Amino acid sequence: MASLFIDVLRSNVRAGKFIVHDFVVMPNHVHVLLSVPGDTSIEKAMQLVKGGFSFRAKRELGFRGEIWQRGFSDVRITDELSFRKHKEYIDNNPIKAGLANSPAEFPYGSAFLKREKVAKRNLQVGRDLEVVRSREVPPPAAKAEVKPRLVRHD
Protein backbone atom coordinates (compact mmCIF):
# COMPACT_ATOMS: atom_id res chain seq x y z
CA MET A 1 0.00 0.00 0.00
CA ALA A 2 2.89 2.36 0.67
CA SER A 3 4.02 2.08 -2.96
CA LEU A 4 0.54 3.02 -4.10
CA PHE A 5 0.56 6.07 -1.81
CA ILE A 6 3.92 7.14 -3.27
CA ASP A 7 2.49 6.72 -6.77
CA VAL A 8 -0.48 8.94 -5.84
CA LEU A 9 1.96 11.63 -4.66
CA ARG A 10 3.94 11.33 -7.90
CA SER A 11 0.80 11.56 -10.04
CA ASN A 12 -0.27 14.77 -8.34
CA VAL A 13 3.21 16.26 -8.64
CA ARG A 14 3.32 15.38 -12.36
CA ALA A 15 -0.10 17.01 -12.77
CA GLY A 16 1.25 20.20 -11.16
CA LYS A 17 -1.12 20.04 -8.18
CA PHE A 18 1.66 20.59 -5.63
CA ILE A 19 5.38 20.11 -5.02
CA VAL A 20 6.58 17.42 -2.61
CA HIS A 21 9.81 18.33 -0.84
CA ASP A 22 9.95 15.35 1.49
CA PHE A 23 7.75 12.50 2.69
CA VAL A 24 7.70 9.24 4.60
CA VAL A 25 5.01 6.57 4.67
CA MET A 26 4.98 4.94 8.10
CA PRO A 27 2.98 1.82 9.04
CA ASN A 28 0.16 3.88 10.59
CA HIS A 29 0.63 7.46 9.36
CA VAL A 30 2.34 9.63 6.74
CA HIS A 31 4.32 12.85 6.78
CA VAL A 32 4.45 15.05 3.69
CA LEU A 33 6.31 18.33 3.32
CA LEU A 34 4.73 20.05 0.35
CA SER A 35 4.11 23.39 -1.30
CA VAL A 36 0.84 24.25 -2.98
CA PRO A 37 0.40 26.78 -5.81
CA GLY A 38 -1.39 30.02 -5.02
CA ASP A 39 -4.70 28.80 -6.44
CA THR A 40 -4.73 25.58 -4.36
CA SER A 41 -5.38 25.24 -0.66
CA ILE A 42 -3.67 22.73 1.61
CA GLU A 43 -7.11 21.20 2.18
CA LYS A 44 -7.53 20.64 -1.56
CA ALA A 45 -4.06 19.09 -1.80
CA MET A 46 -4.87 16.67 1.02
CA GLN A 47 -8.22 15.85 -0.58
CA LEU A 48 -6.36 14.93 -3.77
CA VAL A 49 -3.91 12.74 -1.86
CA LYS A 50 -6.32 11.03 0.53
CA GLY A 51 -9.17 10.74 -1.97
CA GLY A 52 -6.90 9.60 -4.79
CA PHE A 53 -5.27 6.99 -2.59
CA SER A 54 -8.59 5.70 -1.22
CA PHE A 55 -10.07 5.42 -4.71
CA ARG A 56 -7.06 3.54 -6.07
CA ALA A 57 -6.67 1.28 -3.02
CA LYS A 58 -10.26 0.16 -3.38
CA ARG A 59 -10.04 -0.26 -7.16
CA GLU A 60 -6.53 -1.71 -7.49
CA LEU A 61 -6.09 -3.56 -4.19
CA GLY A 62 -9.70 -4.45 -3.38
CA PHE A 63 -9.42 -2.63 -0.05
CA ARG A 64 -12.73 -2.34 1.76
CA GLY A 65 -13.65 0.06 4.53
CA GLU A 66 -12.29 3.38 5.68
CA ILE A 67 -8.62 4.11 5.13
CA TRP A 68 -8.17 7.56 6.64
CA GLN A 69 -9.20 9.23 9.84
CA ARG A 70 -11.08 12.48 9.37
CA GLY A 71 -8.94 15.58 8.93
CA PHE A 72 -5.20 16.07 9.07
CA SER A 73 -2.66 18.18 10.93
CA ASP A 74 -0.71 20.88 9.20
CA VAL A 75 2.11 23.21 10.17
CA ARG A 76 2.98 26.29 8.17
CA ILE A 77 6.67 26.51 7.31
CA THR A 78 7.79 30.06 7.87
CA ASP A 79 11.50 30.08 7.08
CA GLU A 80 14.51 27.99 6.02
CA LEU A 81 15.23 26.82 9.58
CA SER A 82 11.65 25.60 10.00
CA PHE A 83 11.85 23.84 6.64
CA ARG A 84 15.08 22.04 7.58
CA LYS A 85 13.76 21.02 11.02
CA HIS A 86 10.58 19.54 9.55
CA LYS A 87 12.51 17.79 6.79
CA GLU A 88 14.86 16.30 9.38
CA TYR A 89 11.91 15.20 11.51
CA ILE A 90 10.30 13.47 8.51
CA ASP A 91 13.54 11.81 7.42
CA ASN A 92 14.28 10.54 10.93
CA ASN A 93 10.79 9.22 11.66
CA PRO A 94 11.59 5.63 10.54
CA ILE A 95 14.78 5.66 12.63
CA LYS A 96 12.92 6.84 15.71
CA ALA A 97 10.35 4.08 15.15
CA GLY A 98 13.10 1.44 14.85
CA LEU A 99 12.32 0.69 11.19
CA ALA A 100 15.70 1.73 9.77
CA ASN A 101 19.18 2.81 10.79
CA SER A 102 19.28 5.74 8.36
CA PRO A 103 16.66 7.64 6.33
CA ALA A 104 18.06 6.23 3.07
CA GLU A 105 17.45 2.65 4.28
CA PHE A 106 13.69 3.04 4.69
CA PRO A 107 12.08 2.17 1.33
CA TYR A 108 8.93 4.28 1.79
CA GLY A 109 10.45 7.71 2.13
CA SER A 110 11.90 10.36 -0.12
CA ALA A 111 15.43 9.89 1.26
CA PHE A 112 15.46 6.30 -0.03
CA LEU A 113 13.99 7.26 -3.39
CA LYS A 114 16.51 10.08 -3.82
CA ARG A 115 19.33 7.64 -3.07
CA GLU A 116 17.91 5.17 -5.61
CA LYS A 117 17.59 7.93 -8.23
CA VAL A 118 21.23 8.94 -7.75
CA ALA A 119 22.32 5.30 -7.93
CA LYS A 120 20.33 4.79 -11.13
CA ARG A 121 21.82 7.97 -12.62
CA ASN A 122 25.33 6.80 -11.68
CA LEU A 123 24.62 3.40 -13.22
CA GLN A 124 23.46 5.11 -16.42
CA VAL A 125 26.61 7.26 -16.45
CA GLY A 126 28.62 4.04 -16.08
CA ARG A 127 26.76 2.54 -19.05
CA ASP A 128 27.33 5.70 -21.08
CA LEU A 129 31.04 5.50 -20.29
CA GLU A 130 31.05 1.84 -21.32
CA VAL A 131 29.41 2.77 -24.63
CA VAL A 132 32.09 5.39 -25.18
CA ARG A 133 34.82 2.86 -24.35
CA SER A 134 33.31 0.27 -26.65
CA ARG A 135 33.54 2.71 -29.56
CA GLU A 136 37.26 2.93 -28.92
CA VAL A 137 37.31 6.65 -28.41
CA PRO A 138 40.88 7.72 -27.72
CA PRO A 139 41.50 8.52 -24.05
CA PRO A 140 41.66 12.20 -23.09
CA ALA A 141 45.03 13.90 -22.88
CA ALA A 142 46.85 13.40 -19.60
CA LYS A 143 46.06 16.94 -18.39
CA ALA A 144 42.36 16.74 -19.26
CA GLU A 145 41.13 15.23 -16.00
CA VAL A 146 37.44 14.45 -15.61
CA LYS A 147 36.24 15.54 -12.20
CA PRO A 148 32.98 14.31 -10.68
CA ARG A 149 30.33 16.92 -10.06
CA LEU A 150 28.19 17.01 -6.98
CA VAL A 151 24.59 17.74 -7.85
CA ARG A 152 22.30 18.65 -4.99
CA HIS A 153 18.57 18.12 -5.26
CA ASP A 154 16.40 19.71 -2.57
- Over residues 114-147, the pLDDT tens digits come to 877 666 665 555 555 555 444 444 444 444 444 4
Q: How confident is the model at residue 46, as a pLDDT?
A: 93
Is residue 23 classed as helix, strand or coil in its secondary structure?
strand
Question: What are the extents of the domains in the chain?
Answer: 2-134
pTM of the entire predicted model: 0.73
* Strand (E) or helix (H) holding 25: strand 19-25
Residue scoring higher pLDDT (21 or 138): 21
DSSP 84: H
What is 2-134's CATH superfamily? Transposase IS200-like (3.30.70.1290)
Q: Is the pLDDT of residue 101 over 80?
A: yes
